[in-house]
Structures are given as structure tokens and as C-alpha cells.
Amino acid sequence: MGAEARLLELGIDLAEGSHPVANYEMVAASGRLLFVSGHGPVQANGALLRGKVGDAFSLEQAYEAARLAGLAVLATLRGELGSLDRVSRIVKVLGMVNCAPGFNRMPEVIDGCSDLLIEVFGDNRGRHARSAIGVAELPFDIPVEIELVCEIE
């Protein structure tokens, strides 16, 4: 099953892709590789979630924030490619968590994005290499930021 059919089945209705907050592009391609800029967790009303994980956000809430950031990436990819079915492989995810001091369960947080990608693209296309790190600050105090590299057909 393709990613677009799978989204329908999951009942996921992607928003329009978001716009850069400064002087860059949401995506840039070289050959078959697409480099996707860092995306934050955009709520249904279009506003970004804000606050530190381990303080304003519990682990469970941060997992959901990472899923929202993943949905924002998917919206960007569909806007860029026309269809998510053109993605042949999610290659590499960098998940950045805006950590309160001492919070170090980043892998569980970033699973919110990785689980989504594997649900949508399936095991063959969706499984990816990944690093999950805890940063001191993120733009606008968002709790999670996701950037990724994918391969297109």
C-alpha cells in the first residue's frame, strides 16, 4: 500500500505545508536525496507548541509533539512532491529535544515521529537511521524539532 492510501486508512488529514520562518527553504534536493529543514510541532490551529520537555511537557506530551512535527514534515513533503508516494525511503532523521536539565529520554520522545513515519511509509520505505539529542534551546521555544533526509524515486 502506498503512503497516500495509508494516510487515508489512518484517517490522517495533512494540513498545508508550513512556510519558512526565515531566509531558507523547507526542502532542497540533490539528485535523489531530499534534505528537509527542521520542523516544529504545529497544532491544528496553526500555532506552534512551546515549552521544555521534562518541565512544560511530560514524556507522553513530548511524544505527541514529535508526532506533530513529523506530520508537519509530511505536509511539506506532499507540498513539494505532489504525493508522498514519490518517497522511496526515509533515510535519516535528526530529532532534537528542547530538554529541561536532566531529561534524557529523547529516544522515547522521537519515537513519536519515527512511529508515524513507519506507519505511513511501511517497514521497507519508512525505517530510517536516526540520532536523538537534547539541545539547550530551540527556535520559539518549541519542544521538539525534526529534520530528515529522504530518497525520492
Which is closer to its own copies, CB of 10 or CB of 133?
133
**Pick from 118, 111, 95: which is nearest to 3 by CA?**
118
| Contacts to its own copies from residues 25-44, by CB under 8 A | 25-33, 35-38
Residue-by-residue DSSP string for 51-105 = S-BTTTB-HHHHHHHHHHHHHHHHHHHHHHHS-GGGEEEEEEEEEEEEBPTT---
Size of the site for its own copies (CB under 8 A): 59
Strand-pairing partners, residue 133, are 96
Binding letters toward its own copies, positions 98-127, x by CB under 8 A: -x-xxxxxxxx-xx--xx--x--------x
- Smallest gap from Cβ 33 to its own copies, in A, equals 6
Q: Considering beta carbons, is residue 13 or 102 the nearer one to its own copies?
A: 102
- Asked if 147 and 38 count as a contact pair (C-beta separation under 8 A), the reply is yes
Task: Answer yes or no: are the C-beta atoms of 68 and 49 closer than 8 Å.
Answer: yes
Q: Per-residue string for binding with its own copies, 49-88, x by CB under 8 A?
A: ----------------------------------------
Helix (H, G, I), strand (E, B) or coil at 28: strand
Give the interface with its own copies as residue ranges (CB under 8 A): 20-33, 35-38, 89-94, 96-97, 99, 101-108, 110-111, 114-115, 118, 127-141, 145, 147, 149, 151
